[in-house]
Structure 1
Amino acid sequence: MSKSIQQILEQDSLTKENIIQLLQSSGDDEKALFAKSSEIKLKYIGKNVYFRGLVEFSNICKKDCLYCGIRAGNKNVDRYDIADEEILKAAKFAYDNNYGSVVLQSGERSDKQFVDRIENLLKEIKKLSNNELGITISLGEQTKETYQRWYDAGAHRYLLRIESSNRELYEKIHPQNENHAHDTRLACLKSLQDIGYQTGTGVMVGIPFQTYEDLANDLLFMKEFDIDMVGMGPFIEHDETPLYEHRDKLMSLNDRFRLTLRMIAVLRILMKDINIASATALQAIDPLGREKALRIGANIIMPNITPTQERANYLLYQNKPCIDEGADDCTNCMEARINMADGEIGYGQWGDSKHYANRTKK
């Protein structure tokens, strides 16, 4: 006989079957799940929500992932690459506004010019902020040597989404070639951890062919890999991608949204002290999407501080919010959102993963 949701939530550990049951919950069962994850967040993380000023500085990418709007094969994208001084100006804005941290994100490249440029930018950001700004980077798969150089230059957190821990599913959403290998992704995550980064990963929720078992395995993968931070959002299809032809297999946007919230809640129960980001994609479906995630388990939010004129060209998916707001608008909006979610902004703090501190003490 299967257990009730309440019985499962009272257990000290969760089996894969328990996780699947929680991910499929609705109504009062879903409310009970959210109440539990919210309670755990308050106990282990507190009310603080940390800002990461997001700079999406280039949409030039060598990869051809089948779900992504800025994939190399999409010829309808206006490609851009923001000048270094604009990136540094955005970082200075984050510093002056007491954000605590920035995130540098772009399409994937690994040529020498790009690697050297990032190293230089990291050093300059450290310099302009008197070493006070925390830096997260999300720049895809690189060699261990490159990761080390960037770490030495000042980056200390790295986000590399696994997209799916199921190899077969991963291969369905990526081209079949050595440039898109599941083993490479896993090896990169291991390299990041070995070097000493706070290591982050994540998945898309509701992609074609994905099952509840896949998602449960994704959460167990994160726990087993001992990950420090996670960013995961609902899959939103883009009509200029190969995966768009499978849109009739997708659950509704609202169902993907609710399922993402349940993923965040279960992850908070499984990994009590990690950092969990409230993804922008949640807001693309529900105007209060990010607040809802903060209430039930997330504790990181990423105001977009990319110069406004380029935001509309960094479209990984459609209906992306905040593409016409300036950085100031975004900050004011985030403050209001966090207050609505009963959170407190950890101004001027790096907001490092408590899990990382506990993991590296061992």
Structure 2
Amino acid sequence: MKNLIEKLNKEKKLSKEEWIFLLNHQNNDLEQYAAKLAGDLYKKVYQNKVYVRALIEFTNYCKNDCFYCGIRKGNKKTARYRLSTEAILDCCERSYEAGYRTFVLQGGEDPYFTDERMIQIIASIHKLYPDCAITLSIGEKSYESYKAYYDAGASRFLLRHETYSPSHYAKLHPASLSAENRQQCLLNLKEIGYQVGSGFMVGSPYQTNENLAEDMLFIKALNPQMLGVGPYITHPDTPFFNMPSGTLHQTLFILSLLRIMIPEILLPSTTALGTLGEDGRILGIKAGANVVMQNITPKEARVNYTLYKNKERAGDIDIRLDSPFFKALKKEGYYAVTDIGDSLNT
């Protein structure tokens, strides 16, 4: 099986059948081999830098009813909140003073945040912090909306494609949503000029290795600048309450393979990894990831942004660059970088 990883490293692609075969034969030796190769590539391209982003979860309202998500419209047990523009700007100020130069605005697809409101928020941040990057993660919008946000000052957009397979997508989402529209949104974002991030959940309900193989092929064709890939974690207040979560080992293996396939990608080590294991995010970095999101959402709101249960660091978060987490990273030979940190995958 190592020969397939070597082929991936040399040619930067595999066939669908090769991907399936490799994923079917995942084992500890392959994981370690892929992680070593991915780590070497990461250090060659990005040295030992770990890019740090300030994450602001500004609303947990959502108009959608995705079956896996804890903030789905149908979950009546979630305490809903929206941050005011002033609260969002306060988060930016605190993180800027701490040295951060990228703000990530993430939220459910909340109709309250109209284009007019989003443009005003984006423009305010851009005016106050022109030396910073503004990343959006707010779901499916029209081409015109995406363009308006871009013109207001947003330069990056994170939109996981979730799964390339239309049939698998339909098992995870209501009929009002489609894989085709999701993918078209990503193409629109690229056309407008955003640095684009896609991605998927590892171990999501009904996912097969064939689905994962198709995801890898789609990502190779899309050639995004960023990828958000983390384990699926079950939420008890969703229709999938009795479904198993994804595993740390499979997620780390996928991260390594993605780094090998696209060495210049920006690849976060997600908070979900930290939920599956105490050192999960550091293991993600060692497997090839090179971005971490530090959640600067006010605690009273943050504890209710529960896409999944037992979210890591839902309580107090130390955003200082000399916090225990960053000291642990430094001990492993990595160092935090807070500048804009654009993707080298063009």
Is the TM-score greater than 0.5? yes
The offset of 1:275, in angstroms, is 0.5
Contact 2:59 2:110 in 1 (8 A): no
Decide whether aligned partners of structure 1 residues 330 and 211 sit closer, same or farther in structure 2, where only a CA change above 3 A counts: farther
Q: 1:152 and 1:334 mapped to 2: Cα distance?
A: 36
2: distance between equivalents of 1:22 and 1:341? 29
Q: Is the 8 A contact 2:98 2:319 kept in 1?
A: no
Task: Please name the residue that 1:274 is paired with.
Answer: 265
Contact 1:303 1:334 in 2 (8 A): no
Task: Provide the rounded CA distance (Å) in 2 between the counterparts of 1:40 and 1:330.
Answer: 25
1:114 Cα deviation (Å)? Answer: 2.4
1:350 match = 340
Matched residue of 1:203: which SS?
Answer: strand
- 1:301 pairs with 2:297: no
Q: 1:181 to 1:210 in 2, by over 3 A?
A: same
1:202-242 CA-to-partner distances (Å, cap 9, x unmatched) read 10110121111211211111111111100111000001101
How far off its partner does 1:335 sit?
1.6
Q: 1:41 to 1:330 in 2, by over 3 A?
A: closer
Q: Percentage identity across aligned positions?
A: 37
Q: Aligned pairs, how many?
A: 341
| Alignment-mate amino acid for residue 143 of structure 2 | K
For the 8 Å contact 1:322–1:330, the answer to whether it is kept is no
Correspondent of 1:200 among 197, 200, 212: 197
1:189 aligns with 2:196: no
SS in 2 for 1:276: coil
Identify the residue that residue 122 of structure 1 maps to in structure 2. 122
TM-score calculated relative to the size of structure 2:
0.94
Q: Distance in 2 between matches of 1:102 and 1:127?
A: 13
Equivalent position of 1:94 in the other structure: 95
CA contact (8 A) 1:292 1:341 kept: no
Q: Does 1:103 pair with 2:116?
A: no
- Assess if the C-alpha contact under 8 Å between 2:266 and 2:291 holds in 1: yes
Q: What is the CA–CA distance in structure 2 between the aligned matches of 1:300 and 1:47, rounded to whole Å?
A: 11
Residues 1:36 and 2:33 aligned together:
no
Cα offset for 1:312? 1.0
Alpha-carbon distance in structure 2 between the residues aligned to 1:201 and 1:339:
28
Change (3 A) 1:182 1:9: closer
CA contact (8 A) 2:268 2:292 kept: yes
Q: For residue 260 of structure 1, what is the amino acid of its counterpart?
A: T
Q: Which residue of structure 1 lines up, in the alignment, with residue 168 of structure 2?
A: 169
- Conserved in 1, the CA contact under 8 Å of 2:158 and 2:196? yes
8 A Cα contact 1:51 1:302, kept in partner: yes
**Which residues of 2 match residues 132-151 of structure 1 at below 5 A?**
132-151=131-150
Which stretches in structure 1 are left out of the alignment for 5+ residues?
Answer: 357-362
Deviations 1:46-93 (A, max 9, x none): 211111100001101101100000000111111100111111011111
Partners of 1:29 and 1:171 in 2: how far apart? 32
Distance 1:174 1:93, change over 3 A: same
Distance 1:327 1:89 in 2: 16
Deviation, 1:22, is: 3.8
Correspondence for 1:50: 51
CA distance in 1, matches of 2:228, 2:320: 23
User: 5 Å matches for 1:21-32?
Assistant: 21-23=21-23, 24-32=25-33
Pair 1:82–1:333, CA change in 2 (3 A) = farther
Give the C-alpha shift of residue 309 in structure 1.
1.0
Cα distance in 1, alignment partners of residues 324 and 82 from structure 2: 26
Instruction: Please name the residue that 1:224 is paired with.
Output: 221
Structure 2 partner of 1:359: none
Alpha-carbon distance in structure 1 between the residues aligned to 2:319 and 2:5: 41
In 1, Cα distance between the equivalents of 2:253 and 2:78? 33
Given that 1:204 and 1:232 are in contact with CA atoms closer than 8 Å, whether structure 2 keeps it comes out as yes
The more displaced of 206-215 and 20-29 is: 20-29
Q: Which whole-Å CA distance do the structure 2 matches of 1:27 and 1:48 have between them?
A: 26
Contact persistence 1:92–1:128 (CA under 8 A): no
Shift of 1:18: 3.4
* Paired amino acid for 1:138: S
Residue 145 and residue 337 in structure 1: after superposition, are their counterparts in 2 closer, same or farther (change >3 A)?
Answer: farther
1:83–1:204 Cα change, 3 Å: same
CA-to-partner distance for each residue in 1:262-318, whole Å, 9 max, x for gaps? 111001111111111111000001011110111121111000000111111100000
Deviation at 1:201, TM superposition (A): 0.8
Distance, in Å, in 1 between the alignment partners of 2:58 and 2:306 is 12
- Structure 2 alignment gaps of length 5 or more: none
What is the identity, as a one-letter code, of the residue corresponding to 2:228? G
Partner of 1:360: none
Q: Which deviates the most, 227-236 or 116-125?
A: 116-125
Which whole-Å CA distance do the structure 1 matches of 2:321 and 2:273 have between them?
Answer: 16
**Inter-partner Cα distance in structure 1 for 2:43 and 2:15:** 24
* TM-score normalised according to structure 1 size: 0.90
**SS at structure 2 position matched to 1:44:** helix
The structure with the largest helix share of the pair is 1
Distance in 1, matches of 2:63 and 2:148, equals 21
| 1:327 Cα deviation after fit | 4.9
> Structure 1 residue 331: deviation in Å?
7.0
Q: What does residue 77 of structure 1 align with? A: 78
